[in-house]
Structures are given as C-alpha cells and as structure tokens.
Chain A
Amino acid sequence: MSPSALLRVERLSKRFGAFQALDGLSLEIAPGEILGLVGPNGSGKTTAINVISGVYLADTGTIRFDGRPIDGLPVYRRARMGINRTFQVPKPFRGLTVAENLEIAAVYSHADRGQVGKCLKFLDLDSLAGREAASLNSAQQKRLDLARALVCRPRLLLVDELGAGLNPAELQSMAQTLATIASSGVALLVVEHLLGFLRAVTSRVVVMDAGREIFEGPLDVAARDPQVIDVFLGG
C-alpha cells in the first residue's frame, strides 16, 4: 500500500441483518487517479460507496482520507473535507431550481460563488438554471447531481452507475466530462456496469464479489482473468 494514497480502505465490513454486504474490502486510490469498481449484482459496490461517503457506518475496518481516519465522521464533514458522490438514482433537491441546488451547495461547503456558474456551464446546465429540478429528465438530473458534487470542490468523487440509462452520445459526452474532471486533479471511484464506458474512462479496476475485492489491475487483464470471468458468468 503506497503511503501517498488519497483514499485507503482497509478490511471494511458491513452487515445488514443476515446479509453480509461488505466482507473485508480493501482498496486504495491515489490523488488524481480514476479507479473503476466493477462486480456482479449484489457484490457490494454501492454499499462500498455508501460506507466510504458516510451514508452508512462500517461495522469493522478503517477508511483513511489523506492519511487521516474518517470512520465516525458524519456526511457533511466528509463533504467539506473533499469527499463527494453521485447517486445511482439522482437525488437533486426537486423543489428547488437548478441554480438553487448548486447555490445551496456552494454556500454550505464554503465554496466561492463563482463555482456555481462554472459548474452550470461545464455540465451544460446553464440554459436550465431557472427550471425546477423536478422537471428535468433523468439524464439532466444526473448532470445536476454531478454538478452539485463538483460545486463542493471534491478531491475524491464517488460515481455510482453514471452510465445507466444514457444513450451512446450521452455516454461519450459523460466519459469526456469525467476525464476532464480527473485531469483537474480530482480522484474518481467509478462504479459501473457498462464496461465500454469504463474503458473510455480508466485503466485500473478493482473487481468485487461477495463484499470483497478479488482482482485489482488493468481492465484488459481483468477481462481475461479466470476468476473474474467465473464471477461474472457463474451463478
């Protein structure tokens, strides 16, 4: 494990009732790196994001951000430290306008107001700025979710199935967007099912199954690894 890791997760476990969602997951991400997180349904990818971002507290294991343990910190503290995320089903503030969604994030994460305008433009939302968030279609809501996370100037962005439901043109545009974000120094953890989309964005992946990592390395090597193939194709 390299000492300069931005995020280091060690033996994370989380159980819900009788279901062990995470079972000793370990991974690390370097500053500015894009790491893909893949695995079959139920392997614990979304739980991993939920635990790292603070929506759930882990049962055992540690999470270190920038070397410091963040295990008990509530969500808003993690957000202010620089960890943010999007949601599989977008969760914008539906009754607020697009602009208000970003403004409130800027105010409460102590970011400079100019960020709002920049993020609106970057994610192609400025023509929608005055519209109520509830009236956006699902692709637009995904961009809003992402914009809201970006306004808070994260250093680590956790992205949950951003590609789902997007058409090929939108996928390409989103891949470009993620690459641009990463090039400005933000580390990304990308949970994704669509391997084509993932390939356009990153080279390194962690493959999960049954709550822990079973492979870590380049995507093409993963695609040829027998254990990985077995996990995806097996029962």
Chain B
Amino acid sequence: MIAYTLLAGLLFGLYFSLVATGLNLVFGVMRLINLAHGDFLMLGAFLAYGLYTAAGVNPLYTIPAEIAAFMLAGIALYYAVVPRLLSSRDPEMLSFILLFGVSQIIEALAVIAFGNDQRAIPATVFGSRPVFLFGQSFPAAWVVSAAVSAIALLAVYVYLYHSRLGYATRAVMASRDEAASTGINVHRVSAVALGAGLALAATAGAFSAFMLGSIEPDMGIGITTVSFAVIVIGSLGNPLGTVLGGLVYGLGLMFMETYFPSWADLLPYVLLILILLVRPSGLLGKRVRLA
C-alpha cells in the first residue's frame, strides 16, 4: 500500500504543482495574490466540460484553445485594473480585495450559466485501461494529467530560463524598479505573466474533473487556498519551489487519505498555517530576520 500511496502522491503532486504555478508566477512578478485563481481554474474546467458534452472533444485538445483565450483575458484584465491599483495607497490589500470581487463575479456568472450542480467528465475519455507504474495500477486519467502537468511545468521552465521574455520576467521578479531602469517594459512583462498565470490555471482546470472528483461553480476558493499553501511551502515566487511544494502537498494528501481519511481535508490549512508561522520563507527561501 505504501508504494501505491507514494506513487499516487507523486502523480497528484505534479498536478498540484501545475495548479499552483500560475498563482506563483503572478505573485512573483506583481506581488499580487490572485484570489480569483481558483475561479479561473473552474472556468477552464467548465470550458473543457462544455466542449466535451457538446462535441465530444477530449480535454487534451481543448487545452491549446484555453491557453490562447485565458492568455488574452489575463492581459486584458491586467491593463484594466493594475495600473490604477499601483497608484493607490495600499496596492497589495486593495488588489487582494479587488480580485476577491472578481472571484465573486466569476462564480456568480458560472452559477447563472451552469446552475449549481456538480459536473464530471468520465475518466474513460482517456481509455478504460489502467496504466501500470512500478507494479501499481492507476487510472489512465491520473497519469495523463500528471504527464501534461509535467510538460507544462517544463514549458514554464524553458520560458523563464531560455527565452528573452522569460529573462525579463525573472528580472522583474527580482526587482521591479531595477528592471524598469534597465529598459524592460514592466507592464508588458507583467501582463504576459498574468495571462500565463490564468492560462496555466485553465489548463489545470481541464483536468480537474479527473483529479478532484467533480467540478462545480464554487470550487474556486478551496483551490486558491490549496494553491496558496503549495506556493508558500515552496517559497513564494520561487518557480522550483512550487514544484517542490506541489509534491509535498500531493504526498501529504495521499498519506492522509490512506491512513487518516476523515482528517484529510484539514491538510492544506494546517500546512499553510504551520509554514507561515514556522518558516514563512518556505522550504527554499532564505531567512530574513525582522525585528
């Protein structure tokens, strides 16, 4: 049973890393906590669901469309609100509250459009034969999700470390002012980052029906909280840290579900508080002593 738990933990860990990476990117570049992150994921999920029920499209193929659509949405959202927020007295809190408002709007629209019921995409869309890894059998859907997550994470890595825009993005993540003074268009980099963050969330959303059980309009806040826990564990703003955080969370969740199922729901919240109190800089962060 341990082998199963471990491997399942890794599969889910990869998925949660994907779920959280968008949030981390947005935070790293703009110091903005996107409270609507989970809701964008939910939109991605419903989009995949809609295309599946309407045209039988396998969620894998909806992903490119989702990436394009959410990228544009993110860029538009950025230019609509962020420059105004940055000139206010407390941009961090105000943007937090603003995105909460956005989250409410998205949820409400989703309920109006889709109703309150849970939806699901049958996992057999990837074939009904289980996949065998190291002697343990897993639903194909899990393995596909994990694989796509890994590819997406790799894509993010390549973008950040091997492309010019990615290099500029990392500069802004390190210091907004210094990046601006070297001629980088901070607004453009940030808008793209927000777009990418939403696109990543939507991509994760396409698979959420398999990994999270079912999709419903109010799943957003729970996902945002889990994502936040993951990125804090791995050190806010650190892309590699998010992967680590996701794996830690995935493994933890699997272990809880196997051995202490009725307490498993507590995991993200307890982890979050523990990390924030004990080691707020995360597993990969440097300690900074403040008075």
Contacts and interface: CB of A to CB of B under 8 A. Distances in A.
Contacts, number: 15
A37 B223 CA distance: 51
A225 interface: no
Contact of A17 (B286, B290, B291): B286
11 contacts: A16-B288, A17-B286, A17-B288, A54-B291, A55-B290, A55-B291, A56-B289, A57-B291, A59-B289, A74-B291, A75-B291
Given A16-B288, A55-B290, A57-B289, 7 more contacts: A17-B286, A54-B291, A55-B291, A56-B291, A57-B290, A74-B291, A75-B291
B174 to A, nearest CB: 10
Contact-residue size bin, chain B (C-beta under 8 Å from the other chain): under 10
Contacts of A54: 291
Contacts of B286: 17
A194 B32 CA distance: 37
B219 to A, nearest CB: 37
Interface in B158-202: none
Interface in A35-59: 54-57, 59
Interface of B: 286, 288-291
Contacts of A74: 291
Interface in A9-54: 16-17, 54
A175 B201 CA distance: 57
A17 B289 CA distance: 11
A56 B286 CA distance: 15
Contacts of B289: 56-57, 59
Interface string A51-85: 00011110100000000000000110000000000
Contacts of A17: 286, 288
Interface residues on A, range: under 10
A54 B290 CA distance: 9
Interface of A: 16-17, 54-57, 59, 74-75
Contacts of B288: 16-17
A130 to B, nearest CB: 22
Contacts of A16: 288
Contacts of A59: 289
A59 B288 CA distance: 10
A70 B46 CA distance: 59
Contacts of B291: 54-57, 74-75
A212 to B, nearest CB: 20
A59 to B, nearest CB: 7
A59 B289 CA distance: 8
A130 B290 CA distance: 35
Nearest to B290: A56
A90 B289 CA distance: 23
B257 to A, nearest CB: 37
Which 4 A/B pairs are nearest by Cβ-Cβ distance?
A: A57-B289, A17-B286, A54-B291, A57-B291
A17 to B, nearest CB: 5
A61 B3 CA distance: 50
A158 to B, nearest CB: 15
A54 B289 CA distance: 11
A17 B286 CA distance: 6
A56 B290 CA distance: 5
Chain A CB count within 10 A is highest, among B286, B288, B290, B291, for B291
Interface hub of A17, A59, A75 (most chain B Cβ within 10 A): A17
A156 B244 CA distance: 48
A75 B291 CA distance: 7
A75 B288 CA distance: 17
A70 to B, nearest CB: 11
A81 to B, nearest CB: 14
A186 to B, nearest CB: 23
A39 to B, nearest CB: 20
A26 B291 CA distance: 21
Contacts of A56: 289-291
A55 B291 CA distance: 6
Contacts of A55: 290-291
A46 B34 CA distance: 33
A59 B286 CA distance: 13
B178 to A, nearest CB: 12
A16 B288 CA distance: 7
Nearest to A16: B288
